[in-house]
A and B are shown apart, each in its own frame.
Chain A
Amino acid sequence: MSILSISNLVKTFPREKGDDLVAVENFTLEVNKGEFICILGPSGCGKTTILRTIAGLENLTSGEIKVDNRVVTEPGSDRGMVFQEFALFPWRTVRRNIEFGLEIQKLSSEKRREISQTYIDLVGLRGFEDAHPYELSGGMRQRVGIARALANEPAILLMDEPFGALDAQTRNQMQNELLRIWQETKKTIVFITHSVDEAVFLADRIVVLTSRPGTIKSIHNITLPRPRSRASPVFIELRKTILDELDAARST
């Protein structure tokens, strides 16, 4: 069942001189409920623009985005977002960061506490409820970012290179954590990355974009069972195929 449907998305940005910059062109994609989608592309291909448009943070130039059959026009709590730079509120503790969306929904403090505790436990931050973001490591900060987005109970989790600012080891650890969280919450995830390795490790489906203007070059169904081993021949083969595609995309 499709939960997110993007049809003929076009996004252009006005430029001071000359024609408008076409960032995304004719991007069409159906995402099924519970699916883990990775959008992969060279830098500057408009993949972040696509995600921001789904989030409602950017207006689309033409085309249509529907979530649960409702047309997206502005940000809404049916779509949660996780940012590369974490974007945590520095003056709020872990708990109060996670409760931000719940405060806006005007839930009672008991209800907020109950929900935030659930997600604090889910992302493994028990014991750090009263810490401030500056006291946490990068990986822990992003756990807060994920819990904050999930606490609003969105239908879709949008993730914009969420592990891009982490070191390689933490990154691998967070990928495993995310898969566990995904399996427990059964959320639909749209995950932006420029790492082929990360996409093959995580995704049910990988959408490969061309360089600017971003449009779909190919879609790969990854049927490898989880947990996936990066050393398995199929993994390596897939990674090579997609890397070659990206190289071709970059050179054209």
Chain B
Amino acid sequence: MFEGVKDFFSGRGRRLGKLSFTDVLISILGLIAFVIIWHLSVIILNTPYLPYPVEVLDAFFRSFSEIDPITGVTMWKNLEASLNRFLVGFLLAAIVAIPIGLGLGWSKIAETAAKPIIEIFRPIPPLAWAPFFFIVFGAFLGPVLVIFLGVLFPILSNVIFGVKSVDPNLLDAAKTLGAKQTDLFLKVIFPYTVPFLMAGVTIGLGIGWMCIVAAEMIGAEGGGVGLFIQNMNAIGRYPEMFAGMAVVAILGIITVGGARYIEIRLSKWMGVSHK
């Protein structure tokens, strides 16, 4: 990930959005092959737990109009609930991680003091906290905090790394132009850190999205895509269960894709990349 950031500053961007017609064709053929293999697997395995692709597709579209018998809401409501948790958890993590990351990157003492704490908590999977958060903070804040933890560390470590890798020449140049501490922070260190921050955000989005579905399976109220998957499994409606998984996949692609888009737009605006 840091290699990518280096490219960012040297202006050597990854080549994106330059898919040729053959590339698209090959990708589509791959997808078709996948669906065929899936279909054949259903025939060969002959188990009620694995539905046909068409059944899943049908369940997928129906889930947006039909009410699910357990929660009594449609997929739209489930989506809304999941996205709400996701957004709150994500923003909370960003609000906490960015200033702390800037501070820890800047102050050697603060980093030395905080490092053991971070190293103790970082390896704990966010999901391990889910039961505790659910009991203590309830059905809304519980899953939100799981997402918060999932997003926190990638942003935090990327921001710390970003501050530490600020080119000392730029700091010197700013000082000789009259910059004091506040100017150095606002006009050199922060802008320098933005691409690192965005790389952390993109990683955090991916992790956060995985966290939300899993957290909802452990405990959530008022709908949620994870909850939907769990419920459909409980009542043996497997096409619906797989449809729920497809919804997760699509939303994951949209959120991470969105973050990448912002990353690219930002790099263009900041003039640190050709993209």
Contacts and interface: CB of A to CB of B under 8 A. Distances in A.
Contacts of A171: none
Given A83-B169, A87-B169, A101 B177 contact: yes
28 contacts: A52-B172, A55-B172, A55-B176, A57-B172, A77-B178, A80-B176, A80-B177, A81-B172, A83-B172, A83-B173, A85-B169, A87-B169, A87-B170, A87-B172, A89-B173, A89-B191, A90-B270, A93-B271, A101-B177, A104-B177, A104-B183, A104-B187, A132-B272, A134-B272, A134-B274, A148-B173, A152-B177, A158-B176
Given A87-B167, A89-B170, A104-B183, A149 B271 contact: no
A104 B178 contact: yes
Contact of B271 (A57, A90, A152, A158): A90
Given A90-B271, A134-B11, A103 B176 contact: no
A76 B176 CA distance: 6
Most chain A CB inside 10 Å of its own CB: which residue of B10, B271, B272: B271
Contacts of B172: 52, 55, 57, 81, 83, 87
Contacts of A101: 177-178
Contacts of A76: 178
Interface residues of B, number: 25
Contacts of B178: 75-77, 101, 104-105, 152
B271 A103 contact: no
A194 interface: no
Nearest to A74: B175
Interface in B233-275: 270-272, 274
B173 A91 contact: no
B92 interface: no
A33 interface: no
A100 interface: yes
**Chain A interface extent, by class:** 20 to 34
Nearest to A85: B169
Contact of B270 (A55, A79, A91, A152): A91
A186 interface: no
B191 A100 contact: no
B270 A134 contact: no
Contacts of B9: 90
Nearest to B179: A104
A158 B175 CA distance: 13
Counting chain A CB atoms within 10 Å of each CB, which of B170, B180, B274 scores highest?
Answer: B170
A52 B172 CA distance: 9
A75 B176 contact: yes
B188 interface: yes
A90 B267 CA distance: 11
A92 interface: yes
Q: Taking each of A103, A133, A134, which has the highest tally of chain B beta carbons within 10 Å of its own beta carbon?
A: A134
Contact of A91 (B10, B169, B177, B271): B271
Interface in B1-30: 9-11
B174 to A, nearest CB: 7
Given A100-B179, A152-B178, 9 more contacts: A52-B172, A57-B176, A75-B176, A87-B167, A91-B271, A103-B187, A104-B179, A133-B271, A134-B274
Interface in B210-228: none
A200 to B, nearest CB: 27
Interface string A71-112: 000011101110101011111110000001101110000000
Contacts of A92: 271
A86 to B, nearest CB: 8
Given A104-B177, A105-B178, A89 B188 contact: yes
Interface in A90-146: 90-93, 100-101, 103-105, 132-134
Contacts of A104: 177-180, 183, 187
| Interface-centre pick from B173, B175, B192, B274 (highest chain A CB count, 10 A) | B173
B93 to A, nearest CB: 25
B272 A81 contact: no
A134 to B, nearest CB: 4
Given A92-B271, A134-B271, A77 B177 contact: yes
Nearest to A96: B271
A138 to B, nearest CB: 14
Given A89-B191, A93-B271, A134-B272, A100 B177 contact: yes
A78 to B, nearest CB: 10
A190 to B, nearest CB: 13
A42 B204 CA distance: 50
A100 B175 CA distance: 11
Interface in B175-200: 175-180, 183, 187-188, 191-192, 194
